[in-house]
Amino acid sequence: MSERLNLLSPEFRENPYPFYARLRRESPVCQVDPHGFWAVSRYEDILKVFKDPELFSSSEMKISTQPPWLGRRNPVSEAMNLAAPPQHARLRGLVSRAFTQSMVARMEPFARDVASRLVDMLFQHEKVDFLSEFALSMPASLMALLLGVDPSLQKQFKRWSDDISGAVVVPPDDLVRQAQVRKTMDDVEAYILGLIEQRRTRPGMDDLVTDLLQVQENGEGLTDAEVVSFIVLLLVAGLETTTYLLSHLALILAKNPEWFERLRSNDVLINPFIEEVLRYEPPNHAQMRIVTRETTLGGVTLPAGSTLLLLLASGLRDEKHFPDADQFNPERGIQANLAFGHGIHFCLGAPLARMESRVALDTILASFSRFELATDRVQWIQSLFFRAPVSVPLRLVPL
């Protein structure tokens, strides 16, 4: 491209997909604003990066999570998604013993109960903000169950998540925001350490915190700091991703109302529908990696230390891998989905997010004949990493 693209410009935030298509055609690996990151936009190049975690490192990104103004340990810095092998394998192995597929299956009845109660509340209003009234409340309620804490904390979860995930982009001169982020990290860490102490004194509780304290491999378990880091990662990544996935699902249904009846008459399409939502409008648009030594990617020489921005949402619209990529088509068949990453850092919470989406869609289809978008223009959040609406105003038409 002749001029550097700004990923936070209003035009880009409104609709990034034409810009992604131009990047893939003209400059598949190029520098973008802000910060001069190297954007990687083609599916095959993104996959190449994911497959070589030694050359394209996530652990080298720790420094970006510890800005000088923070003045304390950022629990995200020690999370397993930023750990290098062999530490990553150790952490993932231990956490996987607690965060299991059977745990997700045990949570499904509760998820169905939560979805039903939230839909009952939606029925009380002709017009709602689906994001705040359903898409946030459902995963936050499951997060509270998972951690064995008071469900009333769900709004607190969102504020904690917003502050911690936004720490890396706080301007160096915004002293008020910096103080807020530091206080949030202090509060979150103190709260989780309190949970850990409670579970040690009452070890029979059935929740993830208890399970994390009990897992061992070769006689070694997780330290308290590692438990804190994983739970913070779960709050930030799990809550944001599922909230935005459910929001996109609702927006797509509102724009494609024919799918209400098609899915009701053929529930075999429900899982492919969710996979196509993840491909067509993935909540997570980008991930970062650091180049550990000079290399060539997409025909471009990258110096050691270069920061890559892997544009997952662009890769998932790559015409070479997805025919008619700009068309929403749940019947296109199963294809490799980068929405949850790939390789050693594939998202551990993907089965939980998919289960919540399936339960939410089941409940919506059993309750409403269609959604109508109650705005002429959706507003989008300012983020390099997520594409998400600020709100999802809908008119709900019951069955």
Strand partners, 394: 128, 373
Burial 230-252 (b: 16+ CB within 10 A, else e): bbbbbbbbbbbbbbbbbbbbbbb
pLDDT 10s digit of each residue in the chain, 399 long? 668 999 999 999 999 999 999 999 999 999 999 889 999 999 999 999 999 999 999 876 777 778 889 888 888 887 777 777 777 788 888 888 877 888 888 899 999 999 999 999 999 888 999 999 999 999 999 998 888 888 777 778 888 888 887 787 788 899 999 999 999 999 999 999 999 999 998 877 888 899 899 988 777 898 999 999 989 888 888 888 999 999 999 999 999 999 999 999 999 999 999 999 999 999 999 999 999 999 999 999 999 999 999 999 999 999 999 999 999 999 987 667 899 988 888 888 889 999 999 999 999 999 999 999 999 999 999 888 899 999 999 999 998
Q: Which of 65, 82, 63 has its CA nearest to residue 74?
A: 65
Phi, psi of 220 (to 5 degrees): -115, 135
Architecture of domain 10-398: Orthogonal Bundle (1.10)
Domain ranges of the chain: 10-398
pLDDT at residue 345, rounded to an integer: 81
Owner of token pair 């839909």: 119
Mapping DSSP onto H, E and C, the string for the chain reads CCCCCECCCHHHHHCCHHHHHHHHHHCCEEEEECCCEEEECCHHHHHHHHCCCCCEECHHHHHHHCCCCCCCCCHHHHCHHHCCCCHHHHHHHHHHHHCCHHHHHHHHHHHHHHHHHHHHHHCCCCEEEHHHHHHCHHHHHHHHHHHCCCHHHHHHHHHHHHHHHCHHHCCCCCHHHHHHHHHHHHHHHHHHHHHHHHHHHCCCCCCHHHHHHHCCECCECCCHHHHHHHHHHHHHHHHHHHHHHHHHHHHHHHHCCHHHHHHHHCHHHHHHHHHHHHHHCCCECEEEEEECCCEEECCEEECCCCEEEEEHHHHCCCCCCCCCCCCCCHHHCCCCCCCCCCHHHCCCCHHHHHHHHHHHHHHHHCCEEEEEECCCCCCECCCCCECCECCCEEEEEEC
For residue 380, give Cα distances in angstroms to 178, 196, 200, 386.
Answer: 23, 37, 43, 10
**In the prediction, which pLDDT does 203 show?**
78
Q: What global pTM score does this model have? A: 0.92
Phi, psi for residue 93 in degrees, rounded to 5 = -60, -45
